[in-house]
């Protein structure tokens, strides 16, 4: 089994790929298979969220690239930015993990949420696409450092 232990910042070409849905990309410990069929295990620091394109390194040195799997999602669009902001507000109020882009919003498919958004005059389509939701303002991956004083 390939034991994957580190996330690396690297432009090195990956020998392997690992395609995972968002739910699995949130797990620090996971028994899985690389896309080539080799058995692998994730042994990563807790709280890390893997994104499509991230590179990981195995104990044995191999580099593995993460691929965000296609998932059943709802994609919300509108030519009116205010409507997209309203949709973000209503979905956030329901604590829905949400991918936010300039031209669309995306969340795991839910027919009830789709109907709510359609009643707000938004276009909603069910798709199979990679899902990369926001990690949250207080996630470990945010860019604000705490090396300065807050006095």
Q: Does domain 2-68 have CATH number 2.20.25.10?
A: no
Instruction: Look at residues 128, 132, 136 and name the one whose alpha carbon lies nearest to residue 105.
Output: 132
pLDDT value for 139? 59
Architecture of domain 70-130: 2-Layer Sandwich (3.30)
Cβ 79 vs Cβ 118: under 8 Å = no
- Please tell me the predicted confidence (pLDDT) of residue 92: 95
Burial class (CB in 10 A: 0-12, 13-18, 19+), 129: middle
For residue 16, give the 3-state DSSP assignment: strand
Q: How confident is the model at residue 151 (pLDDT cuts 50, 70, 90)?
A: very low
> Which contacts qualify for 138-141: CB closer than 8 Å, 24 or more apart?
139/47, 139/49, 140/47, 140/48, 141/48, 141/49
Q: Where are the domains of the chain?
A: 2-68, 70-130
List pLDDT tens digits, range 106-146: 999 999 999 999 999 999 999 999 999 998 765 554 333 33
pLDDT at 135: 84
**Residue 46, phi-psi category: left (phi > 0), alpha (psi -120 to 50), beta (remainder):** beta
For the segment 7-62, what is each residue's pLDDT rounded down to a tens digit?
998 788 999 999 999 999 999 999 999 999 999 999 999 989 999 999 999 999 99
In which band, very low, low, confident or very high, does the pLDDT at 149 lie, cut at 50, 70 and 90?
very low
Query: Is 48 within 8 Å of 7 (Cβ atoms)?
Result: yes
Q: Dihedral (C-alpha) 31, 34, 38, 43: value to the nearest 10 degrees?
A: -40
pLDDT in tens, 56-109: 999 999 999 999 999 999 999 999 999 999 999 999 999 999 999 999 999 999
């Amino acid at each position: 089994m390939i034991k994957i232990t580190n996330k690396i910042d690297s432009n090195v070409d990956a020998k392997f790929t690992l395609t995972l849905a968002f739910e699995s990309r949130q797990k620090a410990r996971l028994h899985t298979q690389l896309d080539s069929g080799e058995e692998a295990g994730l042994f990563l620091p807790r709280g890390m969220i893997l994104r499509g394109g991230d590179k990981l390194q195995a104990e044995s040195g191999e580099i593995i690239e993460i691929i965000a799997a296609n998932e059943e999602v709802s994609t919300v669009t509108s030519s009116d930015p205010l409507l997209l902001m309203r949709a973000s507000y209503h979905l956030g109020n329901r604590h829905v993990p949400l991918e936010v882009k300039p031209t669309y919003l995306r969340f795991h498919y839910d027919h009830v949420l789709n109907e709510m958004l359609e009643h707000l005059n938004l276009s909603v389509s069910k798709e199979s696409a990679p899902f990369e939701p926001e990690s949250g303002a207080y996630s470990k991956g945010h860019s604000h450092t705490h090396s300065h004083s807050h006095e």
